[in-house]
């Protein structure tokens, strides 16, 4: 067990930057796939991206000195911050990204992904 260091969060920070890049792509640069629209594929993508985001920021706690209650609290904080990030991204898309809009269903998919990531972290990253 060890204390947490900033460098342990670098993969999660890099992933956060990658998601920000994807979310701020202009609308015309996104692929137009009719089959994907029929099955709401973008909601699946949002859910997956946020599941990984929460888990990535939670992962460094696996070998930390925190007990399970403290870890769960941090996992919850991380999930809440990721939900706030998802909401903020939608407004950034609406006001600052060309040909993008604010979608409440995307926010709900982000929330769902954050909840899944939180649950996965609670189950898989507890101390023995």
Higher pLDDT, 107 or 65: 107
In contact, 4 and 64? CB cutoff 8 Å: yes
CA distance 83 to 21: 17
pLDDT in tens, 5-14: 999 999 999 9
- pTM of the entire predicted model: 0.93
% of the chain beyond a pLDDT of 90? 79
In contact, 91 and 104? CB cutoff 8 Å: no
The confidence score (pLDDT) of residue 71 equals 95
Within its chain, how far is the Cα of 104 from the centroid? Answer: 16
The confidence score (pLDDT) of residue 36 equals 64
pLDDT in tens, 66-110: 999 999 999 999 999 999 999 999 999 999 999 999 999 999 999
Helix (H, G, I), strand (E, B) or coil at 94: helix
């Amino acid at each position: 067990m060890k204390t947490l260091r900033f460098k342990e969060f670098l993969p999660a920070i890099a992933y956060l930057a990658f998601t920000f890049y994807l979310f701020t792509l202009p609308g015309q640069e996104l692929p137009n796939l009719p089959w994907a629209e029929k099955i709401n594929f973008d909601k699946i993508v949002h859910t997956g991206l946020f599941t990984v985001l929460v888990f990535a920021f939670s992962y460094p706690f696996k070998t930390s000195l925190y007990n399970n209650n403290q870890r769960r609290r941090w996992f919850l904080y991380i999930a809440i911050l990721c939900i706030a990030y998802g909401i903020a991204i939608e407004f950034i898309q609406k006001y600052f990204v060309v040909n993008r809009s604010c979608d409440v269903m995307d926010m709900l998919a982000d929330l769902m992904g954050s909840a899944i990531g939180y649950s996965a972290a609670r189950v898989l990253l507890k101390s023995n």
